[in-house]
Structure 1
Amino acid sequence: MQKSKLSASLAVLALVLASAPLAAVAEKPAAASSEAKALAATVAAVDIPYERFQLGNGLTVLVHTDRKAPIVGVTTYYRVGSKNEPKGKTGFAHLFEHLMFGGSENVPNFDEPLEAAGSTPTNGSTWLDRTNYVETVPTGALDLALFMESDRMGHLLGAVTQEKLDQQRGVVQNEKRQGDNQPYGIVDYEAQDALFPVGHPYRHSTIGSMADLNAASLDDVKQWFRDNYGPNNAVLVLAGDIDAATAKAKVERWFGDIPAGPAIAAVDAPVPTLDKPFAKTITDQVATTRLYRNWAVPGLNDPSYPALNAGMYILGGLASSRLDNLLVRKEQLAVAVTAYLVPFQHASMVQSYIDVKPGVDVAQAEARYDAILADFVKNGPTQAELDRAVASLVSAQVGQLEQVGGFGGKGATLAEGLVFSNDVEKYKKDLAALAALTPADVRDAMQKWLTRPVAAIRVDPGQRTEGGENRGGWEKAGSPRIGYYRAADADQAAPVSTPAATAKRSFPSVEPVGSFDFPAIEHATLKNGIPVTFAKRSAVPKVTVTVSFDAGYAADASDARGTQSFMAAMLDEGTKSRDAIAIAEEQERLGASINVGAGLDSTFVSLDTLSSNLMPSLALMADIVRNPAFAPAEVERVRDQRIAEIAQEENSPFLLALRALPPLIYGANHPYGAPMTGSGSRAVVAKLTPADLAAAHAASIRPDTARIVVVGDVDKAAAVAALDRAFGDWAAPATPAATKAFDLAIPEQPQHIVLIDRPGAPQSVIAAGRVLPETGKDANEVLKASNEILGNGFLSRLNQNLRETKGWSYGVRSVIQETEGRMPFYVQAPVQSDRTGDAIAEMLREMRDYPAARGATAVEVNRIREGNIRGLPNRFETRGQIANGIEQIVRFGRPDDYYETLPAVYGALTAESLNAAAAKDLQPGHLVIVVVGDAKTVKPQLAKLGLPIEEQAPPQE
């Protein structure tokens, strides 16, 4: 496709940026504020103590001791990612990550033993610079986790078969289709193609190209393993209930006999500079025009990295960012904006985009967008902007370190420092550099890197110009062979050797877990009667506070869908004493994050803040809750954003299906018959007035329907005193509170299909559902456990069938949503278009067969029973997890020791009890099946199922 003509706005941007002088910017004042001092103290206190050792085969091991819970995060990083893939082999690193879960020579299935041992999560991911695998296990299962990680590191190839390769190839290709099928889903291909020349290691996507994935042979992938997965190319981090002496003995036992592999060759990945500005316009099935600006910038080890990261955050990451304040709030030329840095090891990307407000002249919005960018690059941020950005970034980083494992916890933080920077404590240097930034530092970095030619991409609503089927590889057909080539780029793979036979290894035993101890729950009541539930958690110096109200979007009348969520969205858009900008700036200055929203059954305002700033953060939170202004001008602005958001939902296949399903199974008038997103309808949102929103606030956001949950590093007495100061004098209005008519009859639907056409879609989204007789206040533990066998989990029957056996989907899931009224049961499955009918047939068969033809097996019962018991500590590692758990206790009237009673409940599970629950509630009768897909492709397939088919027109603009 030809590059489009450079727009006048973009030409102005290029000229302004290229000539931007180094403007004078005020440095930080000599006297630091109290917030700055508190932040400096927080940065200085961040520490992840560790010990390091290395085995004779080159495996590097880091050990961090954290005894807060009887769990250990096991984090393994391999120094290989998509940047290491030669021409014709794109997608190999990611494909092999999938193969690594398919079983090794001594482990038939990698997930089954770990899930039974209580591992949460068990997962892996691939990115440009690395591949990682994570599991967080009970302390007594650490040997099992190490045995399994070592078995796939040293004993894998004998278990990699053509059948497994074909299965995982299908899964990966459906993962690619799933991403491509989203609105704006092909923009990343365009950005990488524009910024990086052919042959550059960062040009092609990690998912790879369909052609290369189809061409991958068994010998190819086996050679990939030999070349890259040696212990000398890996870093293993053990973080949690472990010490170095114990770890060394265990790691030596399991990994010590694995021979070293070849060293991974260094990659040449310089920061490219375009020779002239690039501009391209594409069309896609989207609701609004989106304008992107992209640059390639240095990698995460460059001295300019902290400044670039903060600069992009100030530009479009903060709630009070430049782009938000100017384009969304003040001038109202856009309905959404963002800017961010995507960090890679060698060369990073910065990207910004705006969604042009419908009805606004795109050229006008583009010209203003580019002018704001040019001004920011020329003059840099203010000190106040920088202070808010640093406080927010530091607070977020500190919050991540509450977890020992996972993709963002302490284990990953230590591993990434070593793998990307050869410095385990790189996180400390990054935080210190961030805290030391001056506005001039940010300005200088932006001028150095963002005055170079920009890659501008415009996406207009329309039929998709080009899908992702032929994208993601090194080059498109006919592209010139230019750019960067590495030694590994030879067209022929290295010779494949036959692996030597190895002795059979045995599974280690898993030690019994002790009794589960949920954090002690304490209760208090504010002066005005609001109940407070409290739990102390001191792992990090932060506090989480959630104020929930008995409302939610189920409180909307059937002819007022969207009122509650619109009202909630307005709470932080201005109070009687603060406008939206002041609210955003204050929470950022405090290092706090305040979120407002409406769930199905409750409307909530949540606060996450540094402990040292709890009092002022609560004062801000109380103002948002108690004193919203609903200013007419702000209501009009947010209305436009809400309508645009609904239009975006209607252009997302998955969200469109979730919008369509609830009214079909509950009936349009039932409180739960609203679109599952909660955003409601455009027609309702278009006519709501400030008075309507104020009335909804008076009925829903009030002390007599409120409950507060507090978890964190604060004493109960101090927390209650602060809450009393913020909320204790709040009196309920005389008007009645919101109600939800759960007594409305729910129609019993016959099993049928509802088809919504999405022309040209590479995937179909299947969303099926029915209403169960139980509510969230019933004892649902056996039912939820039974659903783990059917569809809730990687090893569930639905997922194993459609993903792992058939390769038709990237993932299938069935969900039981606990609610105050009768609960919904959902099945969600994105599948390749040509297998839509077959996939539905298989889903229905699996549901019928459980338990009629195939009841719960001994292996399934053991996995569900033991995994749930052992996994309890993992489920409540962080403040947020504990707060959510307490909220469930309060909401459904459960006893304070509810979670401590669960081991006995799980221990009593039997095949008979699980089968009975499935027979009662998990059958496909009365299932309404929504399909969003290409009607001309899927309709003939659906006709073969013998079910009634109703066609529903796609939403109209």
Structure 2
Amino acid sequence: MFRTTKTSLTALAVALATPAVMAVPAQAQDAAEQPAPLENLVEQVAIPYDQFQLDNGLTVIVHEDRKAPIVGVAVWYNVGSKDEPKGETGFAHLFEHLMFNGSENAPDDFFKYLQEMGATDYNGTTDFDRTNYFETVPTGALERALWLESDRMGYLLGAITQEKLDNQRGVVQNEKRQGDNQPGGLVFYEIIKTLYPEGHPYDHNVIGSMADLDAATMSTVQNWFRDNYGPNNATLVLAGDISAAEARPLVEKYFGPIARGPVNDPAQADVPVLKENVRTVMKDQVAATSIDKYYSVPGITDRDLTALNVGAQILGGLSSSRLDNALVRDEQIAISVNAGNYAFQRVGILDIGATAKPGVDPAVVEKRLNEIIADFIKNGPTEDEVRRAATSSLAGTIRGLEEVGGFGGKAVTLAEGEVLAGDPGFFERQMNILATLTPGDVKAAMQKWMTRPAMTLVLEPGEREGEYEEAASVAAADDATDAAPAANEITVTKVRPAPEISQLTALDFPDVTETALPNGIKVYYAQRDAVPATRVTISFDAGSAADPIDKRGLEGLTLGLMDEGTTSLNSRELAEAQERLGANISTGGGVDRSTFTLSSLSANLEPSLELLADVVRNPAFDPAEIERVRTQTVTSIQQSLKSPSGLAYYVASPLVYGADNPYGGSGTVESVGSLTRDDLVNFKQTWLRPDNATVFVVSNLPLADVMPDLEEAFGNWAAPATPKGQKDFSSLAAAPESARIVLVNRPNSPQSFIVGGEITPYSASDETIVDLTNANNALGGNFLARLNMNLRETKGWSYGVRGGPSINEGAVAYFVQAPVQADRTGDALAEIIKEVGEFVTTRGVTDEELTRNVNNEIRQLPGQFETSSAVLGAMQNNVKYGRPMDYYETLADKYRGQTVESLDAAARKAISPDRFVWVVVGDAEKVRPQLDKLGLPIETIEVE
């Protein structure tokens, strides 16, 4: 549930008959050359705000946005891992966990109180530079949210017990194990160690070391809180259905009495310079060799920030980047490239990399990578490259401003500017720089920072070398209750009753208009005017379930080729056209649908729709592109089987659904390798056609303005004479007579990944399936569910456990998944089996769980549909499952009608723990003896 941000650099080192032709109208090309000017786009990026400060130093920022009855609440503390002294690494992140474990007047897990309010988008994250907590709540619950946040700011210490400290220490250590267990999971440690010398504030990973976490005591933890979490070291942002005048008395009431604390003067840090180039080679369970170059660069307030961001995009971030064009498209010696500037407060890391195509000498890729970087540094970008990068960046920012809270909404934008740059409007300065950036600016920044010594890290396939850092005692959680009883008692220094939750506004789902194009394609339209953007999805009743059993992966490869070139635009030209318009065309849809989604600036909708139509109607299926994308797809399949979760579901799916069921497998190296161009053309002709299509639109523009562009793009598209495809789900596997375990040996794994599954008798259209999903909220559906609370919050053996129904059109299965520390694999599986078994027999849904989950489901409805993308997804689900378009407005009454008995009946109908197939991915030498004690049949599989 918790996330440590800015450690995603780890993933960057791992790679992961002829169709009918529609000519692209000439005006599309003209319009694509004349997108909305950057200056006009910048004017649309606005977050007006009011700012004030309480007497105790708390900075408060309020942004008013009345589009929905919700408020995004964000509390940012000016402390992160760079502020940790030697011997206390990981404390900022550990405290993030502890501050979710209850305060003096709210002593239970904070997720309980958040769910009572119907909060959405809630979490907490720790970075090198700050710690933050956020939630989006219904307006009527805002006062309760302010009470909750203020209680953990001012009245936390009395609620921190030795038991909680020991438990959360174990949870964090399992979070570390979970990250380390991923392919490439040890890379970021090496990057930090190389770029930042010992004693530098950024010289250690945010999650810290096992030894320092082991050494954390109650006194050191309490001192850490007193020193860093005072109101004068915090910023509170409220964004949404609230004004500054309304906010101020509430903030004064709840935060005003909290005393000031010491002032945290964030650690200063220079940008270190390596004495010479460093080259490191590592091995891990990856499918292909990756080469990354890391440069030390300045932090977010440096004048070169925007130029470095744009330069990285042009080099390897855009779809049309120089590295993509040279290494992936033209020379075809790499399967993927990457580039990004990861700016922290004081310093940053610029990463430029490529993943070698299997069979190609990585040294050749590295040589060409260096040559292209050197040429870019010497000669700089073109004006067109800078404009495309800037437009793409601005378009993404505009679309992101629709959300008031969450990980990247308006509250986060204002808070980040204030805490890290001393200016809530910092983003406006950056946008203005972006709009006027020149090729000379980018060239100068690159020459300044990328001519210094750099680190080259090569990650090769192979067995990891060295040992994992492990905790002093992985069984420490067992001793949590051995402390003196007083150490586990909560002390309340000041009684602060919780305010009542006021009247909440019911969900008002946007009105949906149904119409049709001249050729009969149905169009569903909803208007949302929060941002000047339009989202269009054309959905086909296909998905991976349409794959023939002997040609699994066909749908995925077909979709992958369709946005890699049309009969009029090659893949590079198509990418460039999208970037000039600030548009994004993505493919996907899942197992039941194949979708093409356009995210467009409304000012550029007409040419953007024409691009979408060209992609959907006129794929080239160029033979050279087919082989390139095939290689990428095969490598992606191989890489997925290197990860514990990918391997677990690869094994579990055919066991649960049946190997011959459309849901019972996915593309393999062999099946994807056998596909021909004719297979791709036939799939498109059979499934991706107008008589199998539905269009969904969410836009700030009125329908009357959108329909002419849709008609021009898709209205004259005729269906082929051949019949459209039909899916067959008749081969669904029967439930086994008894449970069993399949152990997949993955040596040297610090964690095991457990997946359990079974087919249920439910169908996707069953009206009582809403009873099953809410019953599951008590068992596995959210943070407070029994499985997670047992294995994470009580035992401390896992970073998070979840379970729930997988609802597809042709089958509904139930799955449980749990990453657990290796030495507790058997114990953890025993606990899961016990919890599931008791839930459907002797210990069903309680009255407290019923009340909490019903209230949560009803109260969070308005927040769930804050964004256009959420509305777009809901519209598609309604059509897929045959529901009316006001379905989500009817849910509140369905929840109110639920009882303990109805939820128990739904769970008992669906879940039979004695028929589960359990797949365990882990180190068989360590795990098999533990599993033998469970008394279930065990089959061991060796990974080839």
| TM-score bracket for the superposition, by shorter chain length | over 0.9
Residue equivalent to 2:834: 845
Residue equivalent to 1:768: 756
Residue equivalent to 2:363: 363
Give the Cα–Cα distance (whole angstroms) in 2 for the partners of residues 724 and 409 of structure 1: 34
Equivalent positions of 1:196-207 (< 5 A) are 196-207=196-207
SS of match in other structure, 1:504: coil
Give the Cα–Cα distance (whole angstroms) in 1 for the partners of residues 695 and 618 of structure 2: 18
Alignment root-mean-square deviation, CA: 1.6
* AA matched with 1:232: N
Query: Are 2:74 and 2:238, in contact at CA under 8 Å, matched by a contact in 1?
Result: yes
Residue equivalent to 2:69: 70
Equivalent positions of 1:794-813 (< 5 A) are 794-813=783-802
Residue equivalent to 1:644: 635
Query: Are 1:186 and 1:468, in contact at CA under 8 Å, matched by a contact in 2?
Result: no
Give the Cα–Cα distance (whole angstroms) in 1 for the partners of residues 467 and 67 of structure 2: 49
Give the Cα–Cα distance (whole angstroms) in 2 for the partners of residues 948 and 754 of structure 1: 8
* AA matched with 2:650: R
Residue equivalent to 2:821: 832
* AA matched with 1:67: R
Q: Map Cα deviations across residues 803-822 of structure 1 (whole Å, 9 max, x no partner).
A: 11111111111121221111
Query: Are 2:137 and 2:145, in contact at CA under 8 Å, matched by a contact in 1?
Result: yes
Q: Which segment drifts farther, 462-471 or 848-857?
A: 462-471
1:894 aligns with 2:883: yes
In the TM superposition, what is the alpha-carbon distance from 1:760 to its structure 2 partner?
0.3
SS of match in other structure, 1:596: strand
Equivalent positions of 1:242-281 (< 5 A) are 242-281=242-281
Give the Cα–Cα distance (whole angstroms) in 2 for the partners of residues 294 and 235 of structure 1: 32
Equivalent positions of 1:747-786 (< 5 A) are 747-749=734-736, 750-779=738-767, 780-786=769-775
SS of match in other structure, 1:925: helix
Going from structure 1 to structure 2, the CA distance change for 1:619 and 1:501 (only over 3 Å counts) comes to closer
Residue equivalent to 2:405: 405
Query: Are 2:787 and 2:835, in contact at CA under 8 Å, matched by a contact in 1?
Result: yes
Q: Map Cα deviations across residues 679-725 of structure 1 (whole Å, 9 max, x no partner).
A: x0100111211111111111111011101110021111221211110
Query: Are 1:543 and 1:712, in contact at CA under 8 Å, matched by a contact in 2?
Result: yes
Residue equivalent to 1:482: none
Instruction: Quote the sequence identity (%).
Output: 52
Going from structure 1 to structure 2, the CA distance change for 1:558 and 1:275 (only over 3 Å counts) comes to same
1:130 aligns with 2:117: no
Q: Which segment drifts farther, 909-918 or 836-845?
A: 909-918
Equivalent positions of 1:94-133 (< 5 A) are 94-109=93-108, 110-133=110-133
Q: Map Cα deviations across residues 702-752 of structure 1 (whole Å, 9 max, x no partner).
A: 011101110021111221211110011111112222221112242222311
Give the Cα–Cα distance (whole angstroms) in 2 for the partners of residues 660 and 512 of structure 1: 49
Give the Cα–Cα distance (whole angstroms) in 1 for the partners of residues 33 and 596 of structure 2: 26
1:601 aligns with 2:592: yes
Which among 685, 695, 703 is matched to residue 672 of structure 2?
685
In the TM superposition, what is the alpha-carbon distance from 1:896 to its structure 2 partner?
1.5
Give the Cα–Cα distance (whole angstroms) in 2 for the partners of residues 943 and 736 of structure 1: 53
Give the Cα–Cα distance (whole angstroms) in 1 for the partners of residues 323 and 824 of structure 2: 44
In the TM superposition, what is the alpha-carbon distance from 1:505 to its structure 2 partner?
1.3
In the TM superposition, what is the alpha-carbon distance from 1:470 to its structure 2 partner?
6.7
1:58 aligns with 2:57: yes
1:698 aligns with 2:685: yes
Equivalent positions of 1:171-570 (< 5 A) are 171-469=171-469, 502-570=493-561
Residue equivalent to 1:788: 777
Residue equivalent to 2:868: 879
* AA matched with 2:689: R
SS of match in other structure, 2:748: coil
Query: Are 1:591 and 1:609, in contact at CA under 8 Å, matched by a contact in 2?
Result: yes
SS of match in other structure, 1:108: coil
Equivalent pairs counted in the alignment come to: 895
Structure 2 regions of 5+ residues with no counterpart?
Answer: 1-30, 472-486
Give the Cα–Cα distance (whole angstroms) in 2 for the partners of residues 581 and 747 of structure 1: 48
Going from structure 1 to structure 2, the CA distance change for 1:33 and 1:334 (only over 3 Å counts) comes to closer
* AA matched with 1:590: L
Give the Cα–Cα distance (whole angstroms) in 1 for the partners of residues 880 and 492 of structure 2: 57
Give the Cα–Cα distance (whole angstroms) in 1 for the partners of residues 92 and 505 of structure 2: 39
Give the Cα–Cα distance (whole angstroms) in 1 for the partners of residues 32 and 846 of structure 2: 63
* AA matched with 1:735: T
Residue equivalent to 1:933: 922
Which among 569, 578, 597 is matched to residue 587 of structure 1?
578
Structure 1 regions of 5+ residues with no counterpart?
Answer: 1-31, 472-495
Q: Map Cα deviations across residues 132-191 of structure 1 (whole Å, 9 max, x no partner).
A: 000110011111101110000011001101100111011111111111111111111111
In the TM superposition, what is the alpha-carbon distance from 1:502 to its structure 2 partner?
2.4
Going from structure 1 to structure 2, the CA distance change for 1:212 and 1:722 (only over 3 Å counts) comes to same
Give the Cα–Cα distance (whole angstroms) in 1 for the partners of residues 419 and 217 of structure 2: 29
Residue equivalent to 2:941: 952
Which among 732, 743, 753 is matched to residue 730 of structure 2?
743
SS of match in other structure, 2:552: coil
Which among 785, 789, 805 is matched to residue 816 of structure 1?
805
Residue equivalent to 2:660: 669
Q: Map Cα deviations across residues 42-96 of structure 1 (whole Å, 9 max, x no partner).
A: 2023211111111111011111111111111110000000000011100000000
* AA matched with 2:844: G
Q: Map Cα deviations across residues 517-568 of structure 1 (whole Å, 9 max, x no partner).
A: 1011111100111000000001001010011101111111111111110111
SS of match in other structure, 2:614: helix
Residue equivalent to 1:86: 85
* AA matched with 1:853: T
1:730 aligns with 2:721: no
SS of match in other structure, 2:235: strand
Query: Are 1:53 and 1:61, in contact at CA under 8 Å, matched by a contact in 2?
Result: yes
Give the Cα–Cα distance (whole angstroms) in 2 for the partners of residues 907 and 467 of structure 1: 53
Going from structure 1 to structure 2, the CA distance change for 1:411 and 1:200 (only over 3 Å counts) comes to same
In the TM superposition, what is the alpha-carbon distance from 1:38 to its structure 2 partner?
3.2
Q: Map Cα deviations across residues 2-36 of structure 1 (whole Å, 9 max, x no partner).
A: xxxxxxxxxxxxxxxxxxxxxxxxxxxxxx99746
Q: Which segment drifts farther, 892-901 or 907-916?
A: 907-916
Q: Map Cα deviations across residues 437-481 of structure 1 (whole Å, 9 max, x no partner).
A: 11111011001000000101111111101355279xxxxxxxxxx
SS of match in other structure, 1:339: strand
Task: Give TM-score scaled by structure 1 length.
Answer: 0.92
Going from structure 1 to structure 2, the CA distance change for 1:467 and 1:373 (only over 3 Å counts) comes to farther
Give the Cα–Cα distance (whole angstroms) in 2 for the partners of residues 33 and 199 of structure 1: 52
Give the Cα–Cα distance (whole angstroms) in 1 for the partners of residues 284 and 506 of structure 2: 54
Give the Cα–Cα distance (whole angstroms) in 2 for the partners of residues 130 and 363 of structure 1: 39
In the TM superposition, what is the alpha-carbon distance from 1:335 to its structure 2 partner?
0.7
SS of match in other structure, 1:459: strand
Going from structure 1 to structure 2, the CA distance change for 1:766 and 1:865 (only over 3 Å counts) comes to same
Query: Are 1:565 and 1:598, in contact at CA under 8 Å, matched by a contact in 2?
Result: no
SS of match in other structure, 1:227: helix
In the TM superposition, what is the alpha-carbon distance from 1:886 to its structure 2 partner?
0.6
Which among 911, 914, 937 is matched to residue 903 of structure 2?
914
Residue equivalent to 2:12: none
Residue equivalent to 1:10: none
Going from structure 1 to structure 2, the CA distance change for 1:116 and 1:851 (only over 3 Å counts) comes to farther
In the TM superposition, what is the alpha-carbon distance from 1:37 to its structure 2 partner?
4.5
Query: Are 2:121 and 2:407, in contact at CA under 8 Å, matched by a contact in 1?
Result: no
Q: Which runs of 4+ in 1 moved over 6 A?
A: 498-501
Q: Map Cα deviations across residues 254-279 of structure 1 (whole Å, 9 max, x no partner).
A: 11111000000231210001010011
Which among 926, 942, 954 is matched to residue 931 of structure 2?
942
Going from structure 1 to structure 2, the CA distance change for 1:147 and 1:707 (only over 3 Å counts) comes to same
Task: Give TM-score scaled by structure 2 length.
Answer: 0.93
